[in-house]
């Protein structure tokens, strides 16, 4: 158990298969590892119990440090991703990273800028591990969030989930229209109009597979990126106080 505001360090944290994957393993060698952990392709951090947390409270999770190990991979097993029937053979490619962890070199000299995050993308990211990871957990009472909300230095991010991308977009838009009036004090119609003018809606997740370790329910998600720069300082402060009363 930790206290609100504590930082927890997770050194040498792998997100896949019990830290047993090795650089250069063939796909055939990796498959037994994948099936050895049938509850999911990644391990969650924790569980972490926070003193005083109750159902309905909001836990703010802040990544204060994140450095990856020196290598990773991109792969797709058979039958997963957006195009399961299009590729009859599985694929795996291993990457090595520069010491600063800023660049990964792909094939034919293609350079990929690195922006590490916690989570799993099917076929659309480089999977690696954390050499060092530190997370601060803050507890907030009486914050009327109905779902997860992300925040960066430049944006707030709202997510909608559904069985189809159309429905996920609608769910995401409705959450924007619900959240902005509550946090910023603008009206619902103003939030609806603002979403069409300044908010960027993007596909978060498009998964087809079911009944496997990679199952996602619901399988589709859309997120809205709400730029902070369009709000005056006093309104940004108001939203910040709403999120952290």
User: Over the stretch 201-217, which tens digit does the pLDDT of each residue have?
Assistant: 999 887 665 555 555 56
177-193: average pLDDT: 97
List the structure tokens of 25: 């393993």
Closest to 148 measured CA to CA, from 161, 136, 133 = 161
Res 208: pLDDT: 64
- The CATH class of 148-243 is alpha beta
Note the pLDDT tens digit of each residue in 124-143: 689 888 889 999 999 999 89
Res 71: pLDDT: 93
Establish whether the linkage from the previous residue to 47 is cis, with ω within 30° of 0: yes
Query: In terms of C-beta distances under 8 Å and separation of at least 24 residues, what long-range contacts does 97-103 make, across chains too?
Result: 97/68, 97/70, 97/71, 97/72, 97/128, 99/70, 101/67, 101/68
What residue ranges do the domains of the chain occupy?
A: 7-138, 148-243
Instruction: State residue 160 phi and psi, 5-degree precision.
Output: -125, 135
More confident residue, 37 or 188: 188
Tally: H helices and E strands in the chain? 4, 12
Average pLDDT value over all residues in the chain = 87
Establish whether the linkage from the previous residue to 139 is cis, with ω within 30° of 0: no
Res 180: pLDDT: 96
Closest to 113 measured CA to CA, from 128, 103, 98 = 103
35-47: average pLDDT: 63
Q: How many CA atoms lie within 13 A of 116 on its CB side?
A: 24
73-89: average pLDDT: 81
pTM of the model: 0.82
Q: With contact defined as beta carbons under 8 Å apart, do 22 and 94 qualify?
A: no
Residue 11 pLDDT exceeds 90 = no
Note the pLDDT tens digit of each residue in 187-199: 999 999 999 999 9
% of the chain surpassing 70 pLDDT: 87
Closest to 156 measured CA to CA, from 194, 190, 101, 119 = 194
Closest to 141 measured CA to CA, from 1, 6, 245 = 245
List the structure tokens of 178: 């619900």
């Amino acid at each position: 158990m930790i206290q609100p505001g504590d930082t927890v360090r997770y050194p040498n944290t792998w997100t896949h298969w019990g830290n047993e994957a090795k650089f250069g393993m063939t796909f055939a060698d990796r498959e037994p590892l994948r099936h050895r952990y049938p509850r999911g392709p990644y391990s969650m951090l924790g569980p972490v119990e926070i003193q005083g947390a109750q159902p309905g409270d909001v836990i703010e999770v802040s990544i204060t440090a994140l450095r990856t190990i020196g290598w990773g991979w991109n792969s797709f097993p058979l039958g997963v991703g957006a195009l399961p029937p299009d590729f009859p053979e599985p694929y795996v490619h291993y990457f090595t990273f520069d010491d600063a962890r800023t660049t990964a070199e792909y094939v034919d000299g293609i350079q990929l800028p690195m922006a590490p995050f916690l989570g799993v993308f099917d076929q659309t990211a480089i999977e690696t591990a954390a050499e060092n990871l530190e997370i601060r957990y803050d507890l907030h009472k009486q914050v009327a969030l109905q779902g997860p909300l992300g925040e960066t230095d430049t944006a707030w991010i709202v997510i909608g989930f559904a069985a189809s991308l159309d429905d996920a977009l609608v769910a995401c838009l409705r959450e924007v229209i619900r959240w902005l009036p509550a946090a910023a004090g603008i009206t619902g119609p103003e939030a609806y109009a603002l979403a069409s003018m300044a908010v960027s809606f993007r596909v978060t997740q498009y998964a087809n597979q079911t009944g496997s370790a990679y199952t996602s329910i619901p399988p589709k998600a859309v997120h809205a990126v709400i730029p902070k720069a369009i709000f005056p300082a006093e309104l940004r402060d108001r939203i910040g106080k709403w999120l952290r009363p």
